[in-house]
Amino acid sequence: MQYKVLIVDDSKLARMVMASAFRRVRPDWTLVESANADEALAVVSEGAVDIALVDFNMPGIDGLELVSNIRKTHPGMPVAVVSANVQNEIIGRAREMNAGFIPKPLTDEALAAFLSGATLRLKKQTS
């Protein structure tokens, strides 16, 4: 099964790193990129994506606020916060919203592990 994944990060470099990791771990999946939370919310509300990966530290709406907004309309969508801000509090707040946490620098292993879990969840929802 191929899924469509939304990547939200204000840094172009961070999006490049993420896209290159995807080419290695899930080469046939489709990526949609957003540079900020407003763009991301528009994409999510169109129902165009299955999974979202969200940077925490962004200008305007931060990643946790964005996840909380996504949760209002998409309570079951697999979502992860991706950040170098590995403070226990940030990770805890992500977990409370039923979101994963992937530390930066991004590794293929951490990304693949999250995506495997996400795939399982999506399969369960459709079955």
Partner 1 sequence: MTEDAAALTEIEQDALAEIANMGVSRAASNLRQMVGEQVLLSVPAVKIVTREAASKLVERNNANKLVAVQQSFEGPFAGRALLIFPEAQSLELVRSIIGDQHSLEDVIDLEQEALAETGNIILNGCLATIANVLHRTMRMSLPSIIRGDGAALFEVDGPESGGQFVLFLYIDFNIKKRDVHGFIALLMDLPSIAALKMIVNDFINGIEKQSSDHVG
Contacting residues toward partner 1, per CB under 8 A: 11-14, 16, 57-59, 83-90, 104-105, 107
Q: Which is nearer to partner 1, 28 or 89 (CB)?
A: 89
What is the smallest separation between the CB atom of 97 and partner 1, expressed in angstroms?
A: 17
- Residue 60 tokens read as 């305007």
Q: Which residues contact 111 (CB under 8 A, 6 or more apart)?
A: 18, 21, 22, 25, 102
CA dist., res. 64 & res. 127, Å (int) = 29
Nearer CB in complex with partner 1: 42/84: 84
Q: Cβ of residue 80: shortest distance to partner 1, in angstroms? A: 16
State how far Cα 14 lies from the chain centre.
13
Closest approach of partner 1 to the CB of residue 117, in Å: 22
